[in-house]
Amino acid sequence: MKIVQEGSFYTGEYRSLFRETGVPEEVIRKRLEDTWNELFYGAPDVRIYHPMGEDKGYIVDTGNNDVRTEGMSYGMMMAVQMDKKEEFDRLWKFAKEHMQHTEGRYKDYFAWHCTLDGTQLSPGPAPDGEEFFAMALFFASNRWGDSAEPFNYSEQARIILRACVHKGEDGEGDPMWDPATRLIKFVPESPFSDPSYHLPHFYELFALQADEPDRAFWKEAADRSRAYLQKACHPETGLSPEYANYDGTPAEPQPHGDFRHFFSDAYRVAANIGLDYEWFRSDPWQVEQSNRIQAFFRNIEVADYRRYTIDGQPFEEPSLHPVGLLATLAMASLAADGPDAGHFVKLFWDTPLRTGVRRYYDNCLYFFSLLALSGNYRIYS
């Protein structure tokens, strides 16, 4: 199997690591469709998607029994990648009607979580939702075309990104990207970031599709995020904290917890780096980083994954999302060229979806990894 030497953005080719390990294409395609059906229409202890009325639907965080912008935007990205327009539109209409603010300091942002009937639980936004909403909407526009509001996807994406960059310039609210550093914030009011929010591969595409005056901003944001991740990831273990300052050092403990360590949020960093490398191949450091984090976990059983300090010291506390962590370690193989890359791809392929109360986060990461490692996490432009 020929390995593409340039990023998919330039070549239009996408590696299938499953094929490279000997899995037939028809088996891969069936696994992808079956997994979609399980997550969206499967048994009660597996599914995370639920239709609502005639034209809406939501993704439920099963561990907290609520609806989050993280899950809604993830679900939209899954749907557009799978060419499932009905589910995409249902999710978007729920988010648009129940979660997006129409006035005030958060206008055009989304309340980060709400009840299953759409009642907002808190007004504040979480920027990882906004960036996934915008990217999924651009892909939907490019794949299916725009139609009447709210399905004028590309304009809806631009509205979101406009707010993310310019909020606060009129004196009300705060932007989601720090104007000085061009780095995404943990929340608009915070003076620090979350390494797992950094999606330079999305920002490269925003630089082509956002409002013309903001395109240079997004290109710079992509470069700054790649540089930031090099600071946030430990040079020996490859582990990163959940929250980090703009210089990459772990953020101080917050009123809602201590997020200086490698735990749930931070798992996504490995996957994001892998996908950025697959799409753009702009940073050779991403290969070294992916090899490092895979080497750290190579001899640890999935059942033994724990919380770790970023220099690799384990806590007694087990991982809340071990299947999700495995999925991201496998997705790192898009960049890794070390001896462990094939191991994690095979281990992931042999691991089923998680069932039970905590399945939501694990299985979102699982599905993204399944898309990416099959060559089906694609750019639509």
Check whether residue 201 and residue 277 sit in a common domain: yes
Check whether residue 86 and residue 181 sit in a common domain: no
Asked if pLDDT for residue 184 goes beyond 80, the answer is yes
SS (H, E, C) 152-207: CHHHHHHHHHHHHHHCCCCCCCCCCECCCCCCECCCCCCCCECHHHCCHHHHHHHH
Number of structural domains (the chain) is 2
Check whether residue 61 and residue 208 sit in a common domain: no
Check whether residue 294 and residue 198 sit in a common domain: yes
Q: For residue range 343-375, list pLDDT tens digits in order.
A: 999 999 999 999 999 999 999 999 999 999 999
Q: Which of 108, 129, 162 is the last residue of a domain?
A: 162
Check whether residue 266 and residue 225 sit in a common domain: yes
Facing residues of 250 across strands? Answer: 244
For 238, other C-beta atoms within 10 Å of its C-beta total 24
288 to 2, 247, 268, 311: CA distances (angstroms): 21, 21, 17, 17
pTM above 0.85, yes or no: yes
Tell me if 169 is assigned to some domain.
Answer: no
Asked if pLDDT for residue 1 goes beyond 70, the answer is no
Tell me if 366 is assigned to some domain.
Answer: yes
Query: What's the whole-number average pLDDT of the chain?
Result: 97
Of the pLDDT bands very low, low, confident and very high (cuts 50, 70, 90), residue 202 is very high
Catalytic residues: 70, 265
Check whether residue 260 and residue 370 sit in a common domain: yes
Q: For residue range 80-95, list pLDDT tens digits in order.
A: 999 999 999 999 999 9
Domain housing 321: 1-42+177-381
Q: Which of 162, 189, 223 is the last residue of a domain?
A: 162
Q: Which of 162, 187, 216 is the last residue of a domain?
A: 162
Look up the CATH number of the domain holding residue 141: 1.50.10.10
Tell me if 342 is assigned to some domain.
Answer: yes
Tell me if 170 is assigned to some domain.
Answer: no
What integer pLDDT is reported at residue 255 of this predicted model?
82
Of the pLDDT bands very low, low, confident and very high (cuts 50, 70, 90), residue 253 is confident
Q: For residue range 324-349, list pLDDT tens digits in order.
A: 999 999 999 999 999 999 999 999 99
